[in-house]
Amino acid sequence: MNRNDEKQLETLSPFEVKDTLMKLAAGNKDHAMINAGRGNPNWIATVPRDAFFQLGMFALQESKATYSQYPGFGGMSEKDNISTRFLSFCEDHEQNEGVRFLLNAFSYLTTEHMLDADDLIYEWVEGILGDNYPVPDRMLKNCEFISRKYIEQEMGNKPGLPESNFDLFAVEGGTAAMVYIFNTLKTNRLLNKGDDIAIGAPVFTPYLEMPELEDYCLNKVEIMASEETQWQIPDSELEKLRDPKIKAFFLVNPSNPASVKLSDDTLQKIADIAKERPELILLTDDVYGTFTDNFTSLAMLAPKNTILVYSYSKYFGATGWRLGVVAVSEDNNLDKMIADLPESTRQELTKRYSGISLDPANIKFIDRLVADSRAVALNHTAGLSTPQQVQMTLFSLLALLEGGQEYQENAKKIVRARYQTLMQNSLTKPTIAEDNSNGAFYYVEINIQDLAVSAYNNDFFSWMQEEYEPLDFLVRLAEECSIVVMPGGGFDAPEWSLRVSLANLPQSAYETISYAINAVLESYYQTYLSNR
């Protein structure tokens, strides 16, 4: 690939660049392709899936018992005494790991949280059968309760933090959540064309692109984390949030590609600014929070200002399930901001939602999200499919039950062992130390400039800059070594950097990647020496 081709490729999203690199890597018949581009984990949480399928068998048994007119047909289950029949089913199959998990979950929910036994099992059975619309459409009652407990636990709801009780909206993964949120913010005039929105960078590249789309036409103000401070946001950048022109601040925490959470001190400074600016909307995507130690979400520190997005995809190995939630505190400033809109605007919005409520002016923000997700007119069909909600609930219970801490520790061990393997042969010190409590280690950003200067000298890197495009290093990795990584510049990381996913490959692959990076850098250096 020549330099002009690389220049053109650099204008595309890094995910489109990855596809081209994969084609180049596949063309090398001397090596099997190692794709460290996309962050799809190569593990799954087995126990809650086992429980899901066992629950499905019980649900089918219940359905078949209520309808026998024609073969191959089942009916809707009977609620009366369904928990007794469930316990009997579990007793008959208690040798199965998934059934034992269901029994532990049932005991935990009915004893510790006093959920009604028949109500719980009936919701699960009807939900897993998928024989009715989601009711409530925002989220099934018990599914919401359980998922809320999980969110509060994993997102750092600790004594001494502001009180908050979150409403949840179950959605098709974190990216669907973002689309719904931006649409509803726009529709309800909380974000308008030409408004300034701050974005914590470096960041997952579609989040950089969304504000600029014709649908939104927002002005992007980047709040840059610093590699020199191990990807924390300097106070000078946080000060931008005091500008009243900035209507919202959007961040991914822990970050992508750097995979580092914001320190408690930084989060508190953001929360303090939000307290001074109740009209500042905070939007935080915390999908990688469970991979860090003692994670606290911004939603827990500034609940009135914050919309929290969480996806189950990475932690539980469930990208194909498309499971996520939007969480908004019951006491939030968004509802107040809608109530304070100009009278003419409120009348327009009242008309928009008049077909779904007798009191449309007072529909909460999160319920507007639900309605807008189906263009309002189809609100009666809104909601995440009920089997998905049941699986989401079982994932949540894995973390809430006794074995949850062990699962989390093992998930962290997986990615951290891969990080150690990748970095043990690195030509420079890792940006994030292995004992850094802020590290998630789901991805790693590698600065090619730091490698070149550390291994050789400044003149060598200056020559590289003059002679090659930043993407050339990734192209060579693909063409010569069949290794695919993502360009860091596409995430607003340094142009001469790359991102390696630590989630989707066996540990041994990361040693191969490390040696390949060193070999490609050495090949540049030999060319540099020959041209001197």
pLDDT digits (tens, 9 = 90+) for 321-353: 999 999 999 999 999 999 999 999 999 999 999
Per DSSP, the chain holds a count of helices (H) and strands (E) of: 21, 12
Count other C-beta atoms under 10 Å from residue 145's C-beta. 17
- Kindly state the percentage of the chain with pLDDT values over 70: 99
Residue 314: which pLDDT band, with cuts at 50, 70 and 90?
Answer: very high
Residue corresponding to tokens 């066992």: 54
pLDDT value at residue 368: 97
Pairing of strands 166-171, 324-329: antiparallel
Return d(Cα 183, Cα 191) in angstroms, integer: 9
Please state, rounded to an integer, the average pLDDT across all residues of the chain: 94
- Kindly state the percentage of the chain with pLDDT values over 90: 83
Q: pLDDT at residue 430 above 80?
A: no
pLDDT value at residue 182: 93
Residue 490: which pLDDT band, with cuts at 50, 70 and 90?
Answer: confident
- The packing angle between helices 117-129 and 386-400, to 10°, is 130
pTM for this model (two decimals):
0.94
Q: pLDDT at residue 253 above 90?
A: yes
Return d(Cα 150, Cα 272) in angstroms, integer: 26
Q: What is the pLDDT of residues 199-250, one digit of tens each?
A: 999 987 777 777 777 678 899 999 999 888 889 999 999 999 999 999 999 9
pLDDT value at residue 216: 82
pLDDT value at residue 481: 95
Residue 282: which pLDDT band, with cuts at 50, 70 and 90?
Answer: very high
Q: b/e map of 305-324 (b: 16 or more CB within 10 Å)?
A: bbbbbbbbbbbbbbbebbbb
> CB of 384 within 8 A of CB of 170?
yes
Point out the least confidently predicted range of 19-28, 59-68, 97-106, 470-479: 19-28
> CB of 155 within 8 A of CB of 125?
no
Residue 501: which pLDDT band, with cuts at 50, 70 and 90?
Answer: very high
Instruction: Show the CA angle centred on residue 258, arms to residues 254 and 262, nearest 5°.
Output: 35
* DSSP three-state, residue 203: coil
* DSSP three-state, residue 101: helix
Q: pLDDT at residue 1 above 90?
A: no
pLDDT value at residue 215: 79
Count other C-beta atoms under 10 Å from residue 162's C-beta. 13
pLDDT value at residue 435: 75
Residue 438: which pLDDT band, with cuts at 50, 70 and 90?
Answer: very high
Q: pLDDT at residue 27 above 90?
A: no
What single-letter amino acid sits at 121? Answer: I
Average pLDDT over residues 366-371: 97
Residue 427: which pLDDT band, with cuts at 50, 70 and 90?
Answer: confident
Higher-confidence residue: 226 or 274? 274
- In 330-458, which ranges are E strands? 443-447
Query: Who contacts 458 (Cβ-Cβ below 8 Å, separation ≥6)?
Result: none
Pairing of strands 219-224, 34-35: unpaired
| C-alpha to C-alpha distances, 521 to 226, 449, 458, 512, 516, nearest whole angstrom | 25, 10, 14, 14, 9
Containing 452, the helix (H) or strand (E) segment is: helix 448-455
The phi, psi pair for 146, rounded to 5°, reads -65, -45
Long-range contacts of residues 231-236, Cβ cutoff 8 Å, at least 24 apart: 231/255, 231/258, 231/260, 231/431, 231/432, 231/438, 232/260, 232/262, 232/263, 232/266, 232/438, 233/200, 233/262, 233/266, 235/269
Q: pLDDT at residue 162 above 80?
A: no
pLDDT value at residue 139: 98
